[in-house]
């Protein structure tokens, strides 16, 4: 629960017992890709990105395009790619407009990116 509070500090967090999963709505499904009834188990496993740039997935899994920035995860019907915010677009790894956070391309523009080695290449020119 503390991890959720740290990552999403402005949200109200309500804990539930993991053996008493909600049997209605899609609240748990949206976060964990699990069937929200009974024992908590994975619903759709992540697929594997092949050398051809196409996902190999389990039944009902995403089987579209993949690369180092677009992993093979989630259900096939989620959207045209596994990260709906990037479907059909090519994202540029830039900090322009993203200082203090993460670029849509996946690199970071915050004070910790140098420590973790995941800064966008233009971090120093835009954010320092």
Selection from 53, 14, 93 nearest residue 1 by Cα: 14
The residue ranges of every structural domain in the chain are 2-32, 44-88, 91-128
Q: What is the value of pTM for the model shown? A: 0.34
Distance CA 19, CA 72 (A): 29
What count of residues does the chain have? 128
Question: Which CATH fold topology does 91-128 show?
Answer: Factor Xa Inhibitor (4.10.410)
**Residue 87 phi/psi, 5° resolution?**
-60, 130
Contact, 65 vs 54, CB < 8 A?
Answer: yes
pLDDT for 109 beyond 70: yes
pLDDT given for residue 57 in this prediction = 85
Per-residue pLDDT of 27-67, as tens digits, reads 555 555 554 455 544 567 788 888 888 888 887 787 888 88
Structure tokens at 51: 């050398």
Bridge partners of 61?
A: 75
């Amino acid at each position: 629960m503390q991890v959720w509070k740290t990552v999403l500090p402005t949200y109200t967090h309500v804990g539930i017992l993991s053996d008493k999963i909600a049997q209605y709505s899609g609240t748990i499904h949206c976060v964990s890709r699990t069937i929200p009834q009974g024992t908590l188990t994975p619903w759709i496993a992540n697929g594997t990105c092949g050398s051809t740039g196409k996902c190999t997935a389990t039944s009902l899994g995403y089987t579209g395009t993949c690369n180092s920035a677009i992993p093979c995860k989630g259900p096939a019907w989620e959207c045209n790619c596994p990260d709906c915010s990037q479907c059909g677009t090519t994202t540029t790894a830039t900090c322009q407009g993203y200082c203090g956070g993460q670029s849509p391309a996946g690199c970071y523009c915050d004070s910790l990116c140098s420590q973790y080695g995941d800064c966008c290449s233009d971090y120093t020119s835009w954010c320092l």
